[in-house]
A and B are shown apart, each in its own frame.
Chain A
Amino acid sequence: MRPSAIITRLGPGAGWRPQIDGALAQVEELGFIEVIAESIGSGPLPPGIVAARERGLQVVPHGIGLSLGGAERPAPAGLAHLASVAERVGAPLVSEHIAFVRADGREAGHLLPVPRTHPALEILCENVAIAQAALPVPLALEHVAALVQWPGAEMDEATFVRELIERTGALLLLDLSNLYANGRNHGYDALEALERFPLERIAYVHVGGGVLRDGVYHDTHAHPVVPGVLHLVEELCAIADPPGVMLERDDDFPPPSELITELRAIADAVRWGGERRVRP
């Protein structure tokens, strides 16, 4: 196992997007924003991100294009870009996905799952180690929501993620919406699975909205957060003290009042869970 990274306390957070910059600027309680690393060019930082830093918010670059779960080793240019964004925003850490986004030169335009097998884990660990060597700050890894599952799984998702985190020393970006979606779509108890994730290695937590369509739950980040996901937030905070919990909203942006209400609902779930943890 590699040396463990120090975990930074982040507080309440939100995914920064230009469309909700104005709404986020109204939320005094925010401790951090997450920015999509690939959306940041080599020119000046977007004014909203500069303003957030001036407010004292921490900025966490979130990669979506390294394809750490791919058969190919992560591209040096992609790693250099993520490292550069991390340095330019003074990030305490960066995050990426346990997924592949391209194969044989073709782009999926989406995060696709990796087989939960020992050979796939071996390749993933090698790719993560390459990324860690190229990055100036700790790396957190996020498990993804996936409608399709590879056949021949040798372990469940929580076990796979724990193995990966233990072997690489990476931090965990726990996505409760992904966990909820996978539990619902693949017929397992998300709460039971939650307890077996490496909760002691959480860097921060994603909470996003979704929608049930034709009996399938889609983790869209374009709909309100459903009660089942907020329940997982409270249950997580009843057994662990995540350093940061953030809202992800990527599409169909609501008016500021609705967005702020969602942020408050997440903060309430964190507080209620925390109170149960402190006074069981």
Chain B
Amino acid sequence: MNDQHKAHASIELIRRYARADAIAGEVLWSLESHLESCPSCRARLAKEVPGQAPPTAALVDRTWEALAPSLTTGPPVPRRGRLARLAGWTSPVMLPWVVGAALVAVLAVAVDSFFAVPGGRPLVLLLAPVVPVLGIAAVWTKSLDPAYELVAATPRAGLYLLLRRTVAVLAVVMPVLVVAGLTIGTSSVVWLLPCLACTAVTLALGSVIRLERAAVVVVTLWSLGVLAPGLLTSQLPVAVAPVAVPVWGAVFAVAAAVLILRARSFARV
């Protein structure tokens, strides 16, 4: 049949294909490559299947029955929202503490600009190095985080997560401190290195004693050694003078080394 449509398969051949009858190799080859490219021959084949190959027709129907329930679940996979991504960096309980730490810096600027003492010791300079420590104390404190055990049990727990949270705290606090430093016109290096050093010392100490205790120790030492003398006497404590910058650099390096060596201690509950 269909001599004018030589390119299409004969209905007899299509029926034999549907019945899974033996077909000569080169004809089978041509037929299969033709079926792949010809929608109308595929349609004719589909029409022949129920009559010529009832088992295949049943198989096709059965497969659809099995397939249908999976289709309702739908293809779209929910994408991670911005809020979910943020949760990898912070925990909700951190927020008040980080805001509190930032407020300390803001208040220090306010005090400095309203009660400026001629000749020196700006309060921002005295407070800046310990402000991030307040925030960091909050990021890994068991009593503050109701989900502490859950967090500690996640695969990412440990130093990695702690550093992420530290970065999150610094990202909030640092800009405030920089702006504060600029408004009172002091060099950022003078307080930036002590600030990083205090942060690193807190984390390193936190690997030995608990982090919140380490924060208390560092803040206390700073208050006694730098803040109190700075407020009580009239001269700038040597700790925040430009001379001390290399010392703070060394402290930061040592603390970072200790932190790396004791990295595993943060993975425990």
Binding partners A and B:
no
